[in-house]
Amino acid sequence: MPPRPRKSKTANAMWGGRFAAGPAAVMQQINASIDVDKRLYAQDIRGSLAHCEMLIRRKILSAKDGAAIRRGLRRVLAEIESGKFRFQTALEDIHMNVEARLAELIGPAAGRLHTARSRNDQVATDFRLWVRDAIDGLDQRLRNLQRALIDKAERHAGSVMPGFTHLQPAQPVTFGHHLLAYVEMLGRDRGRLADCRRRLNESPLGAAALAGTSFPIDRVMTAKALGFDRPMANSLDAVSSRDFALEFLSAASVAGIHLSRLADELVLWTTPQFGFVRLSDAYTTGSSIMPQKRNPDAAELVRAKTGRLLGSLVGLSVMMKGLPLAYSKDMQEDKERVFAAADALDLSLAAMAGMIADLTVDTDAMRRAATGGFSTATDIADWLVRALGLPFREAHHVTGRIVRLAEERGGTLEDLPLAALQAIEPRITRAVAGVLGVERSVASRTSYGGTAPANVRKAAREARRRYLRA
């Protein structure tokens, strides 16, 4: 039989009046969250300072006690930031660790700070502040990656590469056009995070445990002091909702999926079979046994970290789906998932921006690949529609026969003599040669959003204006 867990000798001094004895050691271990939620220290102290100022203004707290609390909280903050603060598991979480140290510094006045609030509204406030700060940091990371992509796209607005569908050569595009597709995706990622930030920017502080408080507090004052747009309208909702965290994880997961797609293309493009781009020593690693290897490990790890983001979203969704109102201790598990996801996305964005800025492009290899796979076949079909007036479906059929002939002869579409083309469609003239080169193909795609180099240069300028100068 396993040994019986030892019991703690005394109840928690912060909440233990109802209890005659302390928790079992294993209970203390499972109940504590300080190893995770100590990351909330700055937000917790900021919220406490705002709460303190409001209590003074509403004459719930004396100016003398308020001054001592302010002074003590600032010293606690300095101790944590300097690494001198000793976090205690027995005190469970960041809120009680801060309050206990405050009591050591200023005495009984520290206990007055918790008037008219609960750990329930306190943690909800801290968590919203943290996610808001994380969104602001991630927005800058996304912006930096957009800048790296736009810079590279401008330099390669006319560099022809194969465009793919089903990972098969489809039509030629330019490398700049391809990169700008990710700029647009990242722009929507920034929009989703901004929407999340806007919706979460309401203050739970003052909702207390779940029902509000009988003290004459001013929730508008604390909301304004903390940069929130308004107080949350319902005290039950304020302490029990974590939809802001779910929305954050959802937006982060979509961003991670976009990064994973780009990372996977970098992995493909750096292989000898593609050879489109090269990453330097800064973003590759070698092999312990094969001296010739240059592995795109940074890209592979970005691709892998998307699993952390999606796992965090699923984990928090499952945790929240069956919880009755208001607060349950299950919700203590929310922060670890959000912290892990934010860290993974932040690191992935930094690594991807570095890779994009670092990579060199083999334009010759890209062009050679673009000329293969009969990628200008659609240009022939379009020419048949424009020049001969064929219905597109008929033009598609004629072009398919032309492609089959080129394939049988083991050459390209440009290698076929005019007589061979006319044997399939007698009305074809020498003018069809004007659409067969890959450079001509991309230059012809002048529709809005198309891959023509002039379009790409204009789109890069517009993306720089929209995303980087705001």
- Of 442, 385, 361, 356, nearest in space to 171 by CA: 442
Phi and psi, residue 200, nearest 5°: -80, -10
Mark 211-220 as b/e (b = at least 16 C-beta within 10 Å). Answer: ebbeeebbbe
Catalytic residue among 62, 280, 287, 328: 287
Catalytic residue among 82, 166, 214, 288: 166
> Which tokens go with 344?
């993974």
Separation of alpha carbons 265 and 248, rounded Å = 26
Separation of alpha carbons 390 and 58, rounded Å = 82
Known catalytic membership, residue 118:
no
Sign of CA dihedral 294, 297, 298, 303: positive
Residue entry with tokens 């005190």 = 91
Parallel/antiparallel/unpaired status of strands 202-203 and 230-231: parallel
- Of 22, 264, 45, 274, nearest in space to 162 by CA: 274
Q: Indicate which residues carry an active-site annotation.
A: 166, 287
